[in-house]
Amino acid sequence: MPTYKLTYFPITALGEPIRLLLSYGGVKFEDHRIKSKDWPQIKSEMPFGQVPVLEIDGKKINQSVAICRYLAKQFGLAGKNDREALEIDVAVDTITDVRTKIGAFAYETNEVVKAEKLKVAKEQVPYYLERLDAQVKKNGGYFVGGALTWADIFFVGLLEYLNFMMDSDIIENYENLKQLNEKVLKVPAIKSWVEKAPKSEWKS
């Protein structure tokens, strides 16, 4: 059995889909949460100076989506065939587009530019969410194939972060996405993780 160590900040965000997948897989992992003030000392030790980083048997792997895809393959969440795997990748890339559009506003420091980017986000994010909601409805309550895949876990893992950046419940008006979120959070291994996990320290 491989050993796993995840290094990330004390928030959900990009680290949480990885934590949820590891929990789903029933494997033990070290959840190493670093404070923002300690990041400058640790940054040089990370590939490309970024986190999250998952160490698998001591080897450091970066890029959160690639990590999630790898874990999904280990735990049977990567689709029943290549076509489903493709559709899962498309869903994940689309969810990443949503995150990028929200992040463009959330991380902007110029207040004038920030206001413009917020306006864009408020127009574009519902466009994506409407289509993702319809996709879930069409596919039997999941993003792909009528069954749980890592696309579902990826979305649910990111949701708190997306809500935090937008300062609102972004799926409030999307019933199928709400039901999907509830279903994923009821998966026993994921439910157990969420109940025991430390709360996000967004202002650390």
d(CA 37, CA 31) in angstroms, rounded, equals 18
d(CA 55, CA 70) in angstroms, rounded, equals 13
pLDDT, one tens digit per residue, over 70-106 is: 999 999 999 999 999 999 999 999 999 999 999 999 9
Angle at alpha carbon of residue 194, lines to 64 and 176, rounded to 5° = 80
| pLDDT for the residue 75 | 98
pTM listed for this prediction = 0.96
pLDDT, one tens digit per residue, over 39-67 is: 999 999 999 999 999 999 999 999 999 99
d(CA 96, CA 5) in angstroms, rounded, equals 24
